[in-house]
Structure 1
Amino acid sequence: MEQLEVGNIKITWLNGGVTHMDGGAMFGVVPRPLWEKKYPVNERNQIELRTDPMLIQLDGKNILVEAGIGNGKFNDKQKRNFGIEQESKVKENLKELGLSTEDIHIVLMTHMHFDHACGVSEWAGEDLVSVFPNAVYYVNETEWEELKAPNIRSKATYYKENWEPIVSQVQTYKEEVEPVPGVRLVHTGGHSDGHSILKLESEGERAVHMADIMPTHAHRNPLWVLAYDDYPMDSIGAKQAHIGEAIEADAWFLFYHDYKYRALKWNEENVVEEAVLRNRENE
């Protein structure tokens, strides 16, 4: 498991499973000859997208960022359509760290699309229960309301199985929330109306998880937005605002989906100066 320290914040990447989604949809109007130079694609025009939660440890708190795709949540057709080749190993990873799902105090959800949220619940016999029973789940208020009452477009990704089992544990917020000093969720919109990003700051060091307005390193260009984005101009605006700010602050960019990088730092010429690479051999 790859790790990174940002001041006093320790970050460990867990294995939450993997999907393979259509490359054209993931890069929107950007032509394939351009994006395939930056991100590999298979014969089905799919790109590998990890769904790997980050465990943040700070001030005695165990905080999970995103939840992975879980286990036993997809039928054969869904596995084929979403290119799911591997499901979650979060429980096993936590055990390797001397922890269990009961030791997670906080779960930070940037949004509740299925590839981020299926790991919040699991089957216990015929019932779905919360995977992290002692945690407070932080979800943006707008995101939470749409999750419970999706529209004709969003019902394809917002599942009742991902909110009903945790409803008593959820705490919502409007524009931003800081559950632990130095750990903030900031509402951006864009990818979904309630989408948020994560900002970390400790001992003068910073990191940002742009979530799905910049799901991979290949989406660095503010104009390279997803066909899945509900509000693409909001995604572009948020990327313009937060990417430049992070680069100027010498911040780490953290990734949940990227096949190659766990984290990296860009300079102002968009050159990668430092990186934490994903170790593919351990999967």
Structure 2
Amino acid sequence: MDQWKIGEITLTWLDGGVTHMDGGAMFGVVPKPLWEKRYPVNDKNQIELRTEPILIKGLGGKNILIESGIGAGKLTDKQLRNYGVSEESLIHKSLEKEGLAPSDIDIVLMTHMHFDHACGLSKWQEDKLVPVFENAVIYTSEIEWAELKNPNVRSQNTYWRENWEPIAHQVKTFEEEIVPIEGIKMIHTGGHSDGHSIIELNVGSEKIYHLGDIMPTHAHHNPLWVLAYDDYPMTSIFAKQKWIKPDTWYFFYHDCIYRAVKWDKDGNILERVPRSPKM
């Protein structure tokens, strides 16, 4: 597991699984000869997308998790194949290495509730789905929660009943923004989904960001490089123009190369935290 200590905060990436999604869909209208220079692609035109929740320690004595991973035993064989899942979640083993159990997680911050972020919130216990993080408060935007429960003809492919019914009693929603605990803020942006949110961490005098799936990897830094999966691509573009700033740290859930990156005003990488090769 990779860890990054910045100020008094420690971020630890947990083993939440791995997917491989179509590169064309992940880069939308951007021609492949451009994006493949920035992010590796396999012979099936798939790019590797980690689904690794970020454990945050050092804020108010709480154990905070961003996203929940792909889960384990939640997908059919067909889904595993179609989504290129090569590894499922081993969250409990990752937490054990930190001296924790899933029941020790106090807060889970969900940028949105698409299956590759939310499947890890519940698990099968015999023939019943139950919460994984049984003592946590789970935060997501009010818009996201409403659509998750009543998806439309497009979003029903990613908003699944199995991912919200078992944890409904744990969920706390918000409209524009919320501060679950001092030092961390969730801000509704829309874009990737109508209810999508980003996360801002205060580290001393510095702010660092997790932009969720409006910038799922470092290769999506260009505001115009948005996903074909985005429900509202122009909203994503506007949000990226607003929130991507020079000399500022951004950290990732999906990136297979970097854990965090800082760019200069011209879009050149100033500093980076690489992902360690899995042993």
- Name the aligned partner's letter for residue 260 of structure 1: I
The answer for the alignment partner of 2:7 in structure 1 is: 7
The answer for the alignment partner of 2:49 in structure 1 is: 49
The answer for the alignment partner of 1:258 in structure 2 is: 255
Deviation at 1:3, TM superposition (A): 1.4
The answer for the alignment partner of 2:76 in structure 1 is: 75
CA distances 1:70-118 after superposition (whole Å, capped 9, x unpaired): 1001111111100000001111000011000010000000000000000
Tell me, what secondary structure is at the counterpart of 2:33? helix
TM-score (norm 1): 0.97
For structure 2, the 5+ residue unaligned runs are: none
CA RMSD of aligned residues (A): 0.8
Query: Hey, what's the Cα distance between the residues in 2 that align with 1:2 and 1:269?
Result: 28
1:229 aligns with 2:230: yes
Query: Hey, what's the Cα distance between the residues in 2 that align with 1:75 and 1:237?
Result: 36
Deviation at 1:15, TM superposition (A): 1.3
CA distances 1:259-281 after superposition (whole Å, capped 9, x unpaired): 10001111112221211111123
Tell me, what secondary structure is at the counterpart of 1:200? strand
Query: Hey, what's the Cα distance between the residues in 2 that align with 1:138 and 1:84?
Result: 26
CA distances 1:232-269 after superposition (whole Å, capped 9, x unpaired): 0000000000002xx2xx32110000010001111112
Contact preservation (8 Å) 1:6, 1:201: no
- Name the aligned partner's letter for residue 72 of structure 1: G
The answer for the alignment partner of 1:281 in structure 2 is: 278
Deviation at 1:31, TM superposition (A): 0.6
Contact preservation (8 Å) 2:60, 2:182: no
Deviation at 1:6, TM superposition (A): 2.9
Query: Hey, what's the Cα distance between the residues in 2 that align with 1:199 and 1:261?
Result: 19
The answer for the alignment partner of 1:210 in structure 2 is: 211
For structure 1, the 5+ residue unaligned runs are: none
Contact preservation (8 Å) 2:50, 2:253: yes
Query: Hey, what's the Cα distance between the residues in 1 that align with 2:178 and 2:9?
Result: 18
- Name the aligned partner's letter for residue 164 of structure 2: W
1:270 aligns with 2:267: yes
The answer for the alignment partner of 2:187 in structure 1 is: 186
The 5 A counterparts of 1:1-283 are 1-57=1-57, 58-244=59-245, 247=246, 250-282=247-279
- Name the aligned partner's letter for residue 149 of structure 1: N
Contact preservation (8 Å) 1:6, 1:205: no
Deviation at 1:206, TM superposition (A): 2.0
TM-score (norm 2): 0.98
Query: Hey, what's the Cα distance between the residues in 2 that align with 1:42 and 1:220?
Result: 21
Tell me, what secondary structure is at the counterpart of 2:244? helix
Contact preservation (8 Å) 1:7, 1:204: no
Percent identity of the aligned residues? 62
CA distances 1:203-249 after superposition (whole Å, capped 9, x unpaired): 112210011001001100000000000000000000000002xx2xx
**Aligned pairs, number:** 278
